[in-house]
Amino acid sequence: MASHRRPKQPSRTRVTVLTATAAAAVVLSSQAAHADPKPTKSEVKAKVDKLNQDVEKATEHYDGAKEQQQKLKKEVDDLQDNVARGQQDLNKLRDQLGSLASAQYRSGGIDPSVQLFLSSDPDNFLDKATAQDQLSSQQADAIKKIQAKQRSLAQQRLEAQDKLKDLSATRKKLGDNKKQVQSKLAAANKLLNSLTAAERAALQADDARANRASDRANLGNALPASARGGAALTAAKTQLGKPYVYGATGPNSFDCSGLTSWAYAQAGVSLPRTSQAQANAGTRIYSSSALKPGDLVIFYGDMHHVALYAGNGMVLHAPRTGTNVRYESMGDMPFQFGVRI
């Protein structure tokens, strides 16, 4: 005989679990369908190039903070040396004043009129009295010198304290800039590591081609505008192939402004450390056709990159992280103006 019992209904708990599982599956499948595709080699290269530009900007800020730190440290050291020498001078003045006071005390125990009455040699006593007046005058002068020295030392100490505060702030800024550079470098490396071995090899081949093109660069036969510019360019040429390293000023590695400042130092010219400061180091030349070998060339609107004009539309520079000092076409970067030193 057939059973007429109704089928058992699933429990409310089981229905809830099944519904939640189904919903999660829908969400996951939706996310998978809309997940961003893996970036192509070209997209990664564009992002890495942008990060390298950011690295160079941060590097120039880092270089500027480092230069300011060195300048402030020297000023603080000089002030502290001056204070130490001034304190020695003050101690000598105080010793001299003490000697004058002792001499005055020894000769001033009896009233001058009584000393004259009792003196067996009045003329000799009068000579001594004149000397005593001169001693008091010397004492007054010594006190004035001590007071002036104390005021000077107090002012120098205050100035040194202010410089120390500035130095502390600059050191913090230097550390922050360094962290920013390292963070962007890490982001660029992470992007590069997301590529396949073949894609990374292709990017390396691109750089190798750029280096070979540098070796074959046609610089023309234009002459430098000055002996200084020619000497700087000649010095820079000896550094072809050296790696770019942020904050480096040679001779084993360089960043962009590190190379130009090093090159001009070999020509006997001291340039400021950063590209922005070097942009104001000489006479600006706004026409690229008027550039001469050895002129500085400033790129980008914020002037964060500097190179040396090499001739025939080519520059010699330290391009960016992961590259070496080499020749490249000026047309590869947005030209702002040249600077003739």
Catalytic residues: 256, 305, 317
Q: Residue holding tokens 């030209």? A: 335
Report DSSP state, residue 309. Answer: E
What is the sign, positive or negative, of the torsion defined by CA atoms of 287, 293, 294, 297? positive
Specify the amino acid at residue 22. A
Question: What b-and-e string marks burial along 167-184, b requiring 16 or more CB atoms within 10 Å of the CB?
Answer: beebbebbeebbebbeeb
DSSP state, residue 57:
H
Distance CA 93, CA 103 (A): 15
Contact between 254 and 325 under an 8 Å Cβ cutoff? The reply is: yes
Cis amide bond preceding 39, omega within 30:
no
> Cα–chain-centroid distance for residue 183?
17
For the chain, how big is the Rg over CA atoms in Å? 39
- Tokens, residue 264: 């001009």
d(CA 319, CA 304): 11
Q: φ and ψ at 251, to 5 degrees?
A: -90, -5
**Among 111, 114, 102, 110, residue whose Cα is nearest residue 138:** 102
Structure tokens at 252: 């084993």
